[in-house]
Every structure is written in C-alpha cells, then in structure tokens.
Amino acid sequence: MSNTKYIIGSFADPDEMMDGIDRLQANNIGIYDCFTPMPIHGIEAKLGVRPSRLPIAAFCFGITGTMLGFSLLYYTMTYDWPMNIGGKPALPLPNFVPVTFEVTILLCALGMVATFFFRNHLFPGRAPRVMDLRASDDRFIIAVDARENTDHEKIANLLKEAGAVEVKYNERKYVSYE
C-alpha cells in the first residue's frame, strides 16, 4: 500500500459522510476534500472552509457597471453631442436610470460568474479532476491524503464504521484522466 496516494471513502448517504468527517476529525486525521453530487449544507463549517467572498466581487463589479453605464450616457448625451430632443434637457437623469441599471446587472452577473470560473479553474475543455467517477451520481466521497496520514488501516476502519460502502486506495490522484 505504499503507492497509495489518496484513500477514498465512498458513502451512499450524505449524513453518513458527515459522520465520517466527524470521526476522522476526532482522530486528528486531516481531510483533503469531499466530492458530492449535490451541495451539502453545513459541510463548510465542519471542514473549516471559509465563507466565499464572491458577494464582494459581485458588488464591486456591479458598482463598476453603474459607473460605466452612467459614464457612457453622460459622455454621449451630455458631453460629446448634446442634442435638443423634444426640448428635453441634455442631462435627463430619469431617462438614464434604465440603461444604467441594465449595465449594472450585466456587469455584476458576468463579472461574478467569471470570478467564480477563474477561482475554481472552470473553463471549457478543462480536464475534470475527479477522484471518484460516482461522485457526480450517487456517492458522497471523502478523500484523505494517504501520504500525510500514514495509518491507513485506521482511516479505513473509521470510514467503514461511519457507514462507508466502499474504501478505495487510489494510486493516482485523479481517476478521470485517460
């Protein structure tokens, strides 16, 4: 088992997986990551994953959009070529609201999603880094780094006690590469 890189605990039930995390942590065994077919609420707190800062990014992009949108309107309608359109003022603020709003939303959405993709390395054609192919179907996976945690038998026992249906010793980190 010396070639084992990761120990994979495969659970059929999310609550049993959570139990598995508790058991491992109680024994001071660090968890590399979990892979699940659906979002598990409360798992971040358990694993000490910090809250996402994406809302901040979204807000910044939104504000940028507001400023860009308004600047565009101000530049074109008021500064560059003011025109008399039905006697309306050159700076018709109420008429600027809709476009400014739309640009805000557009930039907020695109900027936030781009940040999400960038931070998680999601882009078309990226080779999927999957540790167990059933993690996107019906298995809830706990991955433990086998080099840092050497007592492999104990880890396997703890996972099985928690209800793991299968414990795998992966010699390759990602099984998805061909």
Q: Which residues in 81-100 contact other proteins (CB under 8 A)? A: 81, 83, 85-86, 88, 92, 95-96, 98-99
Return the number of the residue (70 or 169) whose C-beta is nearest other proteins.
Answer: 70
The percent helix, strand, coil of the chain (3-state, each to 5) is: 50, 10, 40
3-class SS at 11? strand
Query: Which pair of structure tokens corresponds to residue 48?
Result: 């000490």
What one-character-per-residue DSSP string does 92-134 give?
Answer: -HHHHHHHHHHHHHHHHHHHHHHHHHHHTT--TTPPP--S-GG
Q: At what angle do helices 14-26 and 152-162 cross, to 10 degrees?
A: 140
Return the number of the residue (15 or 151) whose C-beta is nearest other proteins.
Answer: 15
Among 2, 28, 84, 120, interactor with other proteins by CB under 8 A: 120
Among 62, 146, 149, 162, interactor with other proteins by CB under 8 A: 62
Non-local (6+) Cβ contacts of 169 within 8 A are 1, 4, 6, 7, 8, 146, 152
Return the number of the residue (1 or 123) whose C-beta is nearest other proteins.
Answer: 123
Q: Does residue 44 touch other proteins according to CB under 8 A?
A: yes
Minimum distance of other proteins from residue 163's CB (angstroms)? 13
User: What are the residues binding other proteins (CB under 8 A)?
Assistant: 12, 14-15, 33-44, 47, 49, 51-52, 54-55, 58, 62, 72-73, 76-77, 80-81, 83, 85-86, 88, 92, 95-96, 98-99, 101-103, 105-106, 108-110, 112-113, 116-117, 119-131, 133-138, 176
